Structure 1
Amino acid sequence: MLDHAPAPLDASTLHALATVLAPLGPLDRAELLTGGMFATTYRATLADGTRVVVKTAPTATDRLLRYEHDLLRTEALVYGLAANRPDLLMPRVLLTDLSRSVLPSDVLVVTHLDGTPLADLGEVDDATSQRAHHELGAFMARLHTVRGDRFGYPNDATGLHAATWPDAFGAMAGALLDDAEAWGAEVPAARVRTALARHAAALAEVRDPALVHTDLWPGNLFVEPATGALIGVIDTERAVWGDPLLEFAGADQMGLGPVPDALLEGYASAGGSLALGTPSGDARLWLYRMYMSLVLTVEIGPRGYTGDWLVGHRAKAWANLHAALDALG
C-alpha cells in the first residue's frame, strides 16, 4: 500500500505483529513504512506470500487533539461501509484488535493496495494531472452518496457530533480552539467564533450528512503510474459526516485558490452537484479552509514538529487562517 524505504524491526515488535496476524496465517516478514505523520504502519508478508498492511494508533494519547481519539476505529468503520462498494477503491478490513493487549493501541489490518501514491510520482505531465484530478472528483461524488444519520466525527469518543451541521461543525471548531489553548497555540479564537456565528445560516443549508474523507491529498491516492488512473484510496481515519464541500478544503489544505476545473468536472461526471458559486457555498468553503488551517496550526505542538521546514509551514498555515477569516468578513 505504501512504498517507502523499510526500516528494520526489533524482535518484540515482530513478535507482537505475528501474534496479531496469527488468525490470518504465520508471519514471514514485516517492515515499517514511513511517510505518515500520525499512525504507525507496517507492511507484513505472510508465509503464503500474502501482503497486508498493519496500522496502529499513537500510544501517547495525552498528545492527541480531541478529534484524534480512537481514529483507527473510524478508519475501520469507513472501510466497512465501502466493503460492498468497489467503486470506492478502498482496502478491505481483514481484522481489528481493539483490546490493546498485544500492542498498546488499536490495530487495524487491511488488504495491500496496488499502485503508487500520487505524491510519489513527482512532477507529472498535464494529461496525467488532469486525469488524476478528474478521477478524484468522480471518486468524491461517489463517496458522498454514502449518508449517515448524524453530523460530525463518527467516533463517539470525540463527542464531536450533533443532529445539525452548524452544531456539529461548531463543536469541531470549538474543540480545536480548546486544544489551541491547552497547547499554547496562538490562534484568533474570537474571530473564528464570530465567523461561525455570522455564517450559521449557510451551514444550516447542509441537511444530509454525507461521508467526507477530509484528507484526499496525493499521499492517500494510489494511481496507475503510467496514466494517472485512480485505483486506490486510503487513510479514512479523519472522515466526517458532513458537507461535501469540506472535501475540497481537505484535499488541498494549504490552498486558497479556485477548485481545479478538472476536479469539478469529474465530480459532475459522477452525478454530484455542489453549491460553489453561490454566496452560501462559497462562505462554507472558506469556513472549511479556516478549519483546516486551524488544524495545521494547532497540531504543531502536540505532534512535536521540528525541522527547518516548520517556520515556513507555520507561517503559511497562519496566513491561510487569516485569509479565510478576512474572506468571511
Structure 2
Amino acid sequence: MPDDLLDRLARVVAPLGTLVEAVRLTGGLFATTHRVTLADGSRVVVKTAPTTTGTLLTYEHRLVRSEALVYGRVADRPDLLMPRLLRFDESGADLPGDVVVAEHLDGVPWQDAGFGPVAEDPRAARAQRDLGAFIARLHTVTGDRFGYVGAVDAPGGAADPAGSRLHGDTWPEAFGRMVEAVLHDAGRWGVDLRPGDVRRVLARHHDALAQVTTPVLVHGDLWPGNLFVAADGALVGVIDPERALWADPLMELVGADQFGRGDVAPGLRAGHEQVAPLDLESSGARVRFLLYRLYMSAILHVECVPRAYAGDFGDWYRRTSGELLAWTLDALDS
C-alpha cells in the first residue's frame, strides 16, 4: 500500500485511534474498502466512494452518504445487524469523496463461508431462513416519501442534483423516475433497453404500483457478499446498504436474487413468515415483482458498459442481464 494512502487513512481514523495496519478488502464492484486495525486491537472499516463520477449511473451518485444515513437511521435497532457508524466525512480533506467509517463485524461473508447448496447444507438453510426474518424486521422501518435514501433523506437538499430527483410522494411517481433515470443512462452509453416497451408496461401496470402506500426501508443488495454468518449459518451481520431506498418491500426480494427468474426461495419465505406475512400470490404483487425484476435487469445490463466488464465474466454478465430483461418484458406483456 502506498505510504501516502496509509497516511491519509491514518488521518481519517485518528478521532478513533492510531492506525497500525490497513488491508484493502476485495469483492465489491463499487466503492473502495479497507479494514483498519487500531493500536488498541480494535478494527474498523473505511469505505470511500469512487473518485470519478463520469461512469456512475444516475442512482449511484453519493451512495456512500446513503450508507451513512441508513446506519444512522437503524442505530437503535441491534436486531437489524448493521454496524455502528463511527464517522462520516464528506469534506474530501483526507480522502477524495465521501468516507464512511464503521465498526468491523464478526463472522465471515456468506459467499466465503464454504457452505454447500441450501438444499444440502443445514448451515446454508439456516442462513436463508435468518435472511428472511431479517428482511421482515427491516421492513418495520418506515419513511415519509418514496425513493432512494440519499434523495429523500439528505439534509438541506444536499443530494446530488441527478440523484435528488429519484423520489416522489407516491410509489408510481418515484418508481417511474427511477426507471426513466436508467433509460437515460442507457441512452448515454448506447445500450438498448427497448425503452418503448419498458414505458408501455410501466404505464400499463400503474395501478399495481399504486397499491403500495407505505414506504419501507429496503436494503436493495442482500446478496451473500453483504451477509455475515457464523459457523453454524446464523446471520450475524449485514453491510453495504448504500443502494437502500424507501420502497415496496417486494423490491427487497429481487435485490437478494438479482439474476433470478424463479419464485422466492422457500427457506427465505419461511423465515420471513415467522415474523410477518408475505404476499406473493395476489395479482398486484406478482406484477410488481416482475416490474422490479425489469428494473434490476435494466441496471445490470447498462452498468456493463461504463464499468467495462471484460472477459468471460463480462460476456456472461451482458448476455444474462439482456436475456433477463427480455424475459421480464415478455412476462409483463403476457
Same fold (TM over 0.5): yes
- Selected match of 2:181 from 172, 175, 186: 175
SS, match of residue 155 in structure 1: helix
- Shift in Å, 1:304: 1.9
Give the residue type in structure 1 aligned to 2:264.
V
Instruction: Give 4+ residue runs of structure 1 displaced > 4 Å after superposition.
Output: none
Query: How far apart, CA to CA, are the structure 2 residues paired with 1:29 and 1:230?
Result: 28
- Shift in Å, 1:123: 4.2
Partner of 2:292: 288
- Shift in Å, 1:79: 0.8
Q: 1:31-46, aligned counterparts within 5 Å?
A: 31-46=23-38
Partner of 1:61: 53
SS, match of residue 63 in structure 1: coil
- Selected match of 2:18 from 14, 18, 26: 26
- Selected match of 1:218 from 208, 215, 224: 224
Partner of 1:144: 139
- Selected match of 2:282 from 278, 284, 291: 278
Q: 1:230 to 1:328 in 2, by over 3 A?
A: same
- Shift in Å, 1:122: 3.7
Query: How far apart, CA to CA, are the structure 1 residues paired with 2:296 and 2:145?
Result: 21
Q: 1:1-329, aligned counterparts within 5 Å?
A: 9-124=1-116, 125-156=120-151, 157=160, 158=163, 159-225=165-231, 227-270=232-275, 272-329=276-333
Query: How far apart, CA to CA, are the structure 1 residues paired with 2:325 and 2:140?
Result: 30
Query: How far apart, CA to CA, are the structure 2 residues paired with 1:51 and 1:123?
Result: 26
Query: How far apart, CA to CA, are the structure 1 residues paired with 2:329 and 2:141?
Result: 31
Query: How far apart, CA to CA, are the structure 1 residues paired with 2:9 and 2:113?
Result: 30
Query: How far apart, CA to CA, are the structure 2 residues paired with 1:111 and 1:32?
Result: 15
- Shift in Å, 1:328: 0.6
Give the residue type in structure 2 aligned to 1:217.
W
**Identity over aligned pairs, percent:** 55
Query: How far apart, CA to CA, are the structure 2 residues paired with 1:192 and 1:275?
Result: 25
Query: How far apart, CA to CA, are the structure 2 residues paired with 1:306 and 1:42?
Result: 25
Does structure 1 retain, via aligned residues, the 8 Å contact 2:168–2:174? yes
SS, match of residue 306 in structure 2: helix
Does structure 1 retain, via aligned residues, the 8 Å contact 2:69–2:150? no
Query: How far apart, CA to CA, are the structure 1 residues paired with 2:115 and 2:83?
Result: 26
Does structure 1 retain, via aligned residues, the 8 Å contact 2:115–2:124? no
Root-mean-square deviation (Å): 0.9
SS, match of residue 94 in structure 1: strand
Query: How far apart, CA to CA, are the structure 2 residues paired with 1:26 and 1:131?
Result: 38
Query: How far apart, CA to CA, are the structure 1 residues paired with 2:313 and 2:13?
Result: 37
Q: Which runs of 5+ in 1 are unaligned?
A: 1-8
Q: Deviations over 1:122-169 (max 9, x none)?
A: 442432222111110000000000001000112132120000000100
Query: How far apart, CA to CA, are the structure 2 residues paired with 1:292 and 1:269?
Result: 27
Partner of 1:3: none
SS, match of residue 303 in structure 1: coil
Query: How far apart, CA to CA, are the structure 2 residues paired with 1:319 and 1:102?
Result: 43
Give the residue type in structure 1 aligned to 2:148.
Y
Query: How far apart, CA to CA, are the structure 2 residues paired with 1:122 and 1:200?
Result: 43
Q: Which runs of 5+ in 2 are unaligned?
A: 152-159
SS, match of residue 61 in structure 1: coil
Q: Deviations over 1:164-201 (max 9, x none)?
A: 00010010011000000001112111111111101110
Alignment size in residue pairs: 319
- Shift in Å, 1:104: 1.0
TM-score normalized by structure 2? Answer: 0.94
Query: How far apart, CA to CA, are the structure 2 residues paired with 1:129 and 1:104?
Result: 39
Query: How far apart, CA to CA, are the structure 1 residues paired with 2:240 and 2:193?
Result: 27
- Shift in Å, 1:274: 2.7
